[in-house]
Amino acid sequence: MNILVSACLLGVSCRYDGKHNFCPELGRIAEEHTLIPVCPESYGGLPVPRDPAEIREDRVIMKSGKDVTAEFQRGAGCMMQLADFFSCEMAILKERSPSCGSGKIYDGTFSKTLTDGEGIFARLVRVAGIPIIGEPEIPVVFPT
């Protein structure tokens, strides 16, 4: 099947700090499935590196105070076009991200405090009916 994957999990250095979150287990999954890399923040026009951002009352705010909700929404919309084009049946998304996180995200205070919630892109993926797993769940959903 075609699976959406956060590009930073595939080793792309697209995180806010210019780093990645390479997840070696994805190599094993790629032997049987087609992985479609997505980075909604990059496709929304945000640079690398960039200020960290968190969701506060349905807005996405950078640590500097800049409101980047529009950029996050634009990138998420672009990535949903990819999901639709490739008829993706699953998404493996980076946990805790204000775009890709599902279940828990940072609370908007930039104090590393987690709260219940989901990222801007993860919300669209969920509403589209595409199952989402975070990277820690890979061994459970795709056992060796």
Q: Using the rule CB under 6 A, is 102 a contact of ligand SF4?
A: no
User: Which of the ranges 57-65, 82-90, 97-105, 127-135 carries the binding residues for ligand SF4, by CB under 6 A?
Assistant: 97-105
Q: Where are the alpha helices (DSSP H) in 58-137?
A: 69-85, 120-127
Which residues 6+ apart lie within 8 Å of 44 measured at CB? 68, 70, 71, 72, 73, 74, 75, 76, 78
Q: Which of 20, 78, 9 lies closest to 49, judged by CA?
A: 20
In 3-state terms, the chain is what percent helix, strand and coil (to 5)? Answer: 30, 25, 40
Could you tell me which stretch among 37-45, 54-62, 80-88, 127-135 binds ligand SF4 (CB under 6 A)?
Answer: 37-45
Q: Does 41 bind ligand SF4 (CB under 6 A)?
A: yes
Q: Does 50 bind ligand SF4 (CB under 6 A)?
A: no
Identify the residue among 7, 26, 35, 124 touching ligand SF4 (CB under 6 A).
7
Which of 68, 71, 88, 97 touches ligand SF4 (CB under 6 A)? 97
132 contacts 138 by C-beta, under 8 angstroms: no
Q: Which one of 3, 26, 83, 100 is in contact with ligand SF4 (CB under 6 A)?
A: 100
DSSP tag of 118: E
Reference 51, options 71, 37, 31; nearest CA is 71
Which of 20/56 has CB closer to ligand SF4?
A: 20
Residue 53 near ligand SF4 by CB under 6 A: no
Binding site for ligand SF4 (CB under 6 A): 6-8, 14-15, 39-41, 94, 97, 99-100
